[in-house]
Every structure is written in C-alpha cells, then in structure tokens.
Structure 1
Amino acid sequence: MDYHRGAGVEVRIARIFNTYGPRMRLDDGRVVSNFVAQAIRKQPLTVYGDGKQTRSFQYVSDLVNGLAALMDGEHVGPFNLGNPGEFTMLELAEVVKETIDSSATIEYKPNTADDPHMRKPDITKRNY
C-alpha cells in the first residue's frame, strides 16, 4: 500500500484462503490433499488436536472468478478471497473418508502450538 500512496499506482492484494480442485498435488502439504493422499494410500487420516478447529474452503474456479473480479474492479487494497462457510477438520476428514474409502480410520495426534482454532475470511468487501 505504500507503493500505492507514494507512486499513485493502483494496487490490489489478493489474500487467498484454502483452495482445492483438480490437479492438486497430493504432496503439497495442505489439509485437503493430505486427507485425500492418506485415503488413497489406505493410511489413517491424521487429525490434529480434537479436530474442532475450522477452516473454509473454496473451489479453484471460484478463486479464479474472484481474482478476475478483483482485477476488473475499481477498489484498491487488500481483499480476502475465500468462502466464509466453515468446516471442522473432523468434518472434512469424514467427507474425504466417505468419498474415497469408507473403511478409512481417523487418527488423532497432538495439535501444534501455532495452529489457529479458526481461519475464516471476512468477505464483506466482496463486491469489488
């Protein structure tokens, strides 16, 4: 934003939240691909903590539409691109389990100290 203020250049900053869709790499370290990879490999789905921490997920085409709208818009500054609907990690694990391998098990491991309990975008500026 300093560059915008100093040089008068229009700046749009996309804050991209969890995205999923075709061609995701199974080893990219994100929770959706981790659960999918574990289910495909017949491994337990790893849930950290009690699984009640929430995340929001957006499909890749929704992200692309949001990026296009952001770039075509007239507002300057940061914008959150995401879905405000939340799922717990346990709910996501159950969806992956039922979709890929209903016999999969869920394994609980201690949560990491820096894992946020909730990650939900504020999309009140969504009308770019």
Structure 2
Amino acid sequence: MTREDALFQRLAQSPFRRRFHLGAKERAYCLAKGPEVIDRHAADFVAQRLAAAEPVNDGKQTPMRGHPVFIAQHATATCCRGCLAKWHHIAAHQPLSEAQQAWIVAVIHRWLVGEMNR
C-alpha cells in the first residue's frame, strides 16, 4: 500500500473528513477549468496560505467554500499546519519544502478526481 493509499484509508475513517463533497457549482468549475488549471490553483493556495513556517491566521486560513480546492483541503486535512502535522506528519513551524508542497497538491488532486468520478 502506498503512503497516499494509507492516507486516504485513514481519511475515510473520519466522519468530519468524509462529510466534504463537491457541489454542482464546484463540479462545473472543475469541468470548465480542467485539471491543469485546478492543480495550479491548488499549488498557488498551498504556496500562499500554507508554505510559510508560521502562516497568517493558521487554522483559519482556508475557507470552507468558494473554490473546489478549499473543499478538497478540508476533506484531505491539508487546510492548516495543524492538520498537516496530525494527518501528514509534516512538522509545523518550518517552511514547507517543494516536495511537501507537491505532495499536498497531489493529495488534493486525487481527492478531486475521486469526487468528479463519483
């Protein structure tokens, strides 16, 4: 089992994480923009909102709605540094590496693909 498979298995056991799903508006947005654009949005959000050692408003920086990536971040526990530490074993209080940022985007991408294929 891959690290990603193990993560998604654990996330599936969380009633809180399981409750997130894309609505019709977010699905339409994903279809209109395509996966490459959505992945770029995810990478930008991660770089702007999570990558710093001490992100501004940490724990509250990711809205619950408004963009498919935001919903995916809550579903995959990539919404704040506390969740990244707990679920992904990415230590808080230090900047995210490029590899860590790529991991987060890959996890978000996988969740979105799963939602679009539901």
User: What band does the TM-score fall into relative to the shorter chain?
Assistant: under 0.3
**Given the two structures, how large is their TM-score scaled by the length of structure 2?**
0.28
Structure with the greater relative contact order (CA < 8 A, sep ≥ 6): 1 or 2?
1
* Structure 1 or 2: more strand by fraction: 1
